[in-house]
Copies of this chain bind each other. A is one copy, B any other.
Amino acid sequence: MAKAPVLTPQAEDFPRWYQDLINKAELADNGPVRGTMVIRPYGYGLWERMQQDMDARIKAVGVQNAYFPLFIPQSYLTREAEHVEGFAPELAVVTHGGGKKLEEPVVVRPTSETIINEYFSKWVQSYRDLPLLINQWANVVRWELRPRLFLRTSEFLWQEGHTAHATYEDARDFAARIHRHVYADFMENVLAMDVVLGRKTAKERFAGAINTLTLEGMMGDGKALQLGTSHELGQNFARAFNTQFLSKDGTQELVWQTSWGSTTRMIGALVMMHGDDNGLRVPPRLAPVQAVVLAIKGDEAVLAKVREIGDRLAAAGVRVQVDDRTDTPFGRRAVDWELKGVPVRIEVGPRDLEGGTAMVARRIPGGKEPVRLDLLPDLLPKVLEEDQALLLRQARERREARTSDVRTVQEAAEAAAAGGWARIRWADLGPEGEAALAEQAATVRCLVAEDGSVPDADDAPGNVAFVARAY
């Protein structure tokens, strides 16, 4: 008799599968206020690992962390016209504080360009103060009408970088550096995510930017998800906040700026890019727990052995957890670790001990086989690296298999509706084609140059548009 599936199968109902997984792997719960989210310890552990790794990469390019206030005077947002137009519909507004009605309502930050520029304009005096490279880890609020855990939540956690430069070129290069050497490098090498790097079309740009660079990933159902963005802000905010510096030539100049962000949405992406019908599959380099050693039964020899294996693997540099909760049935614990996507399970019972082996189950390729205990400390680090590479390869192969080259708007819309991506020359699409796609629920995710690089302009010759339905 086939056992009932723990999760709704992906093929049956992908959104339901996602919801089931988030819930049963104990990643998050819905908050009481619409669109808010409780990130549970296992989900938050993934975020902490992402933060640590990203934070080191961000600091390595010379950026310093700081913290700006949650509350922004409403008037700040209106200073940059496109920006307020983009964010006004999503704002949460505080009208009362300390038991009184406020004279000026304050908004809960949806992003911090405005308030940060207020301070940049004080801190930047001379070219010697540039580049000014700041990042903050914070919560932001954008009211969501159709919330979905991790993907669209009214409050989310993120990092937002904000920089000011003396020249256009310096700002442009910095935005590109974050895009490729911080975001793409992290997503590919740590999250094992297949990402397409490109530029947003004018229609899809960040409100207030002159250029938005994006990373787009294909989820398990063939839809696209935007995974991070890096914006060239030009001098738009500098003009609105009068952020000037004294140049080497003794003239007053407006700074050139960038901003860039990545969010807890990456956890949702991890689930939808790597998950399968049995649960999440966590890339080993990210995994808070890379291997779990399970005692099948609560017998003394077994308990002693799982602890010994745990110690040996920890000494070999593996992030390991011992599961000796033998008052919970083994089967239930095994399913739970599978759901949580721990890369390797090492299962030890009395019979294994006799043979000096343990059953090793690999979550990423799947399958289970007996391994001699003395070989584990050498084997595990290799297996983890192999499985890290396999995850990325599987994601890449899926995208390639589900992407088709098309020539017309209609073909592009059909490919997207069928659960895939379409590649189409921007010359064959253009802003009119893009508008037509919107009527069929498809969007241009990004533009990529003929050689796969990120183009300098929307209409650079040879540009190719990636078209998909998106989260």
A residues neighboring B (CB under 8 Å): 29, 31-33, 36-41, 44-45, 47-48, 64-73, 76, 88-99, 105-106, 108, 115, 118-119, 122, 128, 134, 138-139, 141, 143-145, 154-155, 157, 327-328
Are A33's CB and B90's CB within 8 A?
no
Q: Which B residues lie within 8 Å of A155 (CB)?
A: 69-71
Q: How far is the CA of A29 from the CA of B68 in the complex (A)?
A: 10
Pick from B36, B45, B94, B122: contact of A65, CB under 8 Å: B45
Known: A65-B48, A88-B99. A71 touches B36 (CB 8 A): yes
* Closest CB in chain B relative to A340 CB, distance in Å: 14
Contacts of A47 in B (CB 8 A): 67
Check B98–A95 contact: CB distance below 8 A: no
Give Cα distance in the complex from A99 to B40, angstroms.
30
Contact of A69 among B33, B65, B71, B96 (CB under 8 A): B33
A41 B66 Cβ-Cβ under 8 A = yes
In addition to A32-B73, A91-B99, 7 A-B residue pairs with Cβ atoms within 8 Å of each other are: A29-B122, A31-B68, A36-B69, A39-B67, A41-B64, A70-B70, A97-B143
Cα of A138 to Cα of B154 in the assembled complex, Å: 16
A41 → chain B, closest Cβ, in Å? 4
B residues in contact with A145, CB < 8 Å: 98
Contacts of A93 in B (CB 8 A): 94-97
Contact partner of A67 (CB less than 8 A), chosen from B32, B38, B66, is B38
Sample of 27 A–B contacts (CB below 8 Å): A31-B68, A33-B72, A33-B73, A36-B70, A38-B68, A41-B66, A41-B134, A44-B67, A48-B65, A69-B155, A70-B155, A71-B92, A71-B155, A89-B99, A91-B96, A91-B99, A92-B94, A92-B96, A92-B97, A93-B95, A93-B96, A93-B97, A94-B94, A95-B95, A97-B154, A98-B145, A128-B327
Closest chain B CB from A210 CB (angstroms): 26
Closest to A96 in B: B93
Q: What are the residues of chain B within 8 A of A88 when measuring CB–CB?
A: 99
Q: Find out whether the CB atom of A115 lies under 8 angstroms from the CB atom of B32.
A: yes
When C-beta atoms are compared, the residue in chain B nearest to A36 turns out to be: B69
Q: Is B98 touching A32 in the complex (CB atoms < 8 A)?
A: no
| CB-contact partner of A32 in B29, B76, B154, under 8 A | B76
Complex Cα–Cα for A41 and B122 (A): 15
Closest 8 CB pairs of A and B: A98-B143, A36-B69, A41-B64, A31-B69, A39-B67, A93-B96, A33-B71, A97-B143
Which chain B residues lie closer than 8 Å to A69 at the CB level?
31-33, 36-38, 155
Instruction: Give Cα A70–Cα B31 distance, bound, in whole angstroms.
Output: 10
User: With A and B bound together, what is the CA distance between A70 and B45 in angstroms?
Assistant: 19
The residue of chain B having its C-beta at the shortest distance from the C-beta of A155 within the complex is B70
Q: How far is the CA of A38 from the CA of B122 in the complex (A)?
A: 12
Q: How far is the CA of A67 from the CA of B45 in the complex (A)?
A: 10
Residues of B within 8 A of A154 (CB): 71, 97
B residues in contact with A45, CB < 8 Å: 64-65
A115 cross-chain contacts in B, Cβ below 8 A: 31-32
Query: A38 CA to B68 CA in the complex, in Å?
Result: 5
Q: How far is A105 from B33 in the complex, measured between Cα atoms in Å?
A: 10
Per the bound structure, the CA–CA distance linking A97 and B145 in Å amounts to: 10
Task: Verify B38–A119 contact, CB threshold 8 A.
Answer: yes
C-alpha spacing A138/B39, complex, angstroms: 13
Taking the closest CB of chain B, its distance from the CB of A179, in whole angstroms, is: 23
Contacts of A70 in B (CB 8 A): 36, 70, 108, 139, 141, 155
Q: How far is the CA of A37 from the CA of B68 in the complex (A)?
A: 7
Would you give the shortest CB distance from A433 to chain B, in whole angstroms? 31
- Cross-interface CB contact of A108 among B89, B90, B94, B122, cutoff 8 Å: B94
Say yes or no: A67 contacts B99, CB within 8 Å. Answer: no
Residue in chain B with minimal CB distance to A55:
B48
Rounded to whole Å, the gap between the CB of A73 and the closest CB of chain B is 5
